[in-house]
């Protein structure tokens, strides 16, 4: 799998928007640190949080069990498999939000934003 990731917190610093079509192109050109932007490559069916940690990155989490939404990500391209969801509303799921601690890639390539905790609606969910 090839997972291109971007720290949501960098968007406001650069005046970017989640809906920008060329968001990841802009990120690639912006000389961001590897913590904020890069690519995770792995072959096994691990969850995205574990994949980030294996590469040495500390993405937000708390419960690791799909119950707190601290680990939420926004999937911009590609699909992940999320075996259960007891916390995100259907509306959030429709917007592409997933829980990285339990979500495994379903497509070879993914583009995701992590650290999306300041997205509207997520604040109240976090424990
Ligand atoms: Fe709590 Fe993922 S860490 S839902």
Each residue of 63-88: pLDDT tens digit?
999 999 999 999 999 999 999 998 99
- C-alpha of residue 72 to centroid of ligand 1, in Å: 7
Pocket test for ligand 1, best of 59, 63, 84, 122 (most atoms within 8 A of CB): 63
Residues in the ligand 1 pocket, defined by CB under 6 Å: 61-64, 66-71, 99, 101
pLDDT attached to residue 125: 75
ipTM over 0.90 threshold? yes
Going by pLDDT thresholds of 50, 70 and 90, the confidence category of residue 119 is: confident
Domain spanning 2-125 has what CATH number? Answer: 3.10.20.30
DSSP sequence for the chain: -EEEEEETHHHHHHT--TT-TTHHHHHHHTT--TTTEEEEE--S---HHHHHHHTT-----SSSSSSS-TTEEEEEES-EE-S--SSS-HHHHHTTEEETTT-EE-SSEEEEEE--TTSTTTGGG--
Going by pLDDT thresholds of 50, 70 and 90, the confidence category of residue 124 is: confident
pLDDT tens string 5-64 = 999 999 999 999 988 999 999 999 999 999 999 999 999 999 999 999 999 999 999 999
- C-alpha of residue 102 to centroid of ligand 1, in Å: 8
Q: Which atom of ligand 1 is nearest to the CA of 63?
A: 1
């Amino acid at each position: 799998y090839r997972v291109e990731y971007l720290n949501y917190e960098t968007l406001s610093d650069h005046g970017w928007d989640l809906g920008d079509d060329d968001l990841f192109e802009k990120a690639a050109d912006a000389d961001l640190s590897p913590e904020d932007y890069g690519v995770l490559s792995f072959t096994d069916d691990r969850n995205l949080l574990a994949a980030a940690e294996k590469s040495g990155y500390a993405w937000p989490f708390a419960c690791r069990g799909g119950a707190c939404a601290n680990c939420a990500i926004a999937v911009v391209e590609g699909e992940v498999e999320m075996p259960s969801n007891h916390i995100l509303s259907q509306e959030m799921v429709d917007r592409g939000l997933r829980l990285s601690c339990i979500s495994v890639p379903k497509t070879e390539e993914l583009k995701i934003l992590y650290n999306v905790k300041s997205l509207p609606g997520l604040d109240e969910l976090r424990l």
